[in-house]
Structure 1
């Protein structure tokens, strides 16, 4: 009988700090406010990106952002009910296309490719 021990392997549930994140913001009364989003199941989530390029690819070049640590983003989001942090999400809403009759059709959205982190 052979027993393997993997002492160096982290547990899958262990959270690894993401480092400084690029966090989407919107205008607010005192400057800017962190934008919150919803997961596919409707839970509120804070969102951070590991690079400005990933943020721009998902939300567009006009999206303003600030740099925050993961812990600072969590501290800001949790009091308003966003206990989930999603890192590097991809946009899952499909583009709306017009048909020959002029009506709009929307394809079925695909499953998101995200790395959600819970508190």
Structure 2
């Protein structure tokens, strides 16, 4: 048996060029911007897909995308502190329903309190403190 030459095997930590990627984007006031995602541990990551079919299978048919090569995507993400690149993720969580959260926040907001109600709470609190002092002083 002849020895196997492993001198050409890359190290696992080496980055491989992924070629041209389908990068999910969202529209904004200045045009489209790349979407960044979170890893399961909460870190930020740039995401690219090797085919439009993989992007559609993961993010849905309404997801817009642009074509970027891996170095361009890394250069775009680096100034934002995003150093991780995930290629062809298999799963994505649905976006949070911000409308329901905003409605709950408005219902429980201190801004909805009427100034007279706040004043009544202050007067009631002051009366309770005075009553306690009367009991202590006696």
Instruction: Return the TM-score normalized by structure 1.
Output: 0.72
For structure 2, the 5+ residue unaligned runs are: 95-138
* Counterpart contact for 2:58–2:92, Cα < 8 Å: no
The ranges of structure 1 where at least 4 consecutive aligned residues each deviate by more than 6 angstroms after the TM superposition are none
Structure in which a larger fraction of residues adopt strand:
1
Structure 2 match to 1:13: 13
Distance 1:61 1:23 in 2: 14
The higher radius of gyration belongs to 2
Select the structure with the greater relative contact order (CA < 8 A; seq sep ≥ 6). 1
For structure 1, the 5+ residue unaligned runs are: 95-119
Q: How does 1:1-119 map to 2 (within 5 A)?
A: 5-93=5-93
Distance 1:92 1:22 in 2: 16
Question: Considering only aligned residues, what root-mean-square deviation do their CA atoms show, in Å?
Answer: 1.8
Structure in which a larger fraction of residues adopt helix:
2
Distance 2:24 2:83 in 1: 17
Instruction: Return the TM-score normalized by structure 2.
Output: 0.62
